[in-house]
Amino acid sequence: MPPVTTALIVANVAIYLLQGLVPQVVVPFALWPLASGANGGAPFAPWQLFTYAFLHGGLLHLFFNMFALYMFGSAIEQVFGARRYTVFYFVSVLSAAITQLIVAALTEAIYPTIGASGAVFGLLLAYGMYFPHNRVMLLFPPIPMRARVFVVVYAVLELFLGVTGSQPGVAHFAHLGGMAGAWLLMRFWRGGVRRPLR
């Protein structure tokens, strides 16, 4: 695996193990809404815009995010190179966090957000744009489809679930925010990436 993807997976697994040893580490480093400190939750702090992405809510949550990071991140790191890939990853993390804060403010919801899913959705978008004809296999159900179609299906599904609220406890709009930040950054880089968009 490329070095940055490897380092990210190692860091996420190590921090998950730390969560098991010191569960209280989640509270100050999860992403809390801006108004949470005055409404029964832990206070928001600026570092949470990034630290939340290294925390996970269970082994399956960690596994699926790390599997996707391995699948899509390895390919995208080879396209961007280590430096730009690192920037891309954390821009996706940040844009997902900002989106989640906006949604929390609009809905007045007070709960923490954790997980690398926002960054993973940014990587998924990049994969679909750079490798649109590669086949991607869904896990449930096991249906193969082109990467470009896979990205569109996932984005529409996330929007539907977010609007309807039919899958509570998942930050669907944060996932879309990760995609949006990734798309904007790729537009900004369009003339400078190592390979042209197809």
Q: What is the pLDDT of residues 123-151, one digit of tens each?
A: 999 999 999 999 887 666 678 889 999 89
Q: Report how far apart, in Å, the C-alpha atoms of 146 and of each of 149, 157, 158, 187 are.
A: 5, 16, 18, 22
Residue 197, pLDDT score: 43
- Residues composing the chain: 198
CA pair distance 117, 92, nearest whole angstrom: 9
What does pLDDT average to over the chain?
A: 89
Residue 167, pLDDT score: 75
CB atoms within 10 A of CB 75: 19
Domains identified in the chain and CATH numbers: 3-189 (1.20.1540.10)
CB atoms within 10 A of CB 29: 21
- Beta strands per DSSP E along 113-183: 135-137, 144-146
pLDDT in tens, 22-64: 999 999 999 999 988 766 678 899 999 999 999 999 999 999 9
Percentage with pLDDT > 90 across the chain: 69
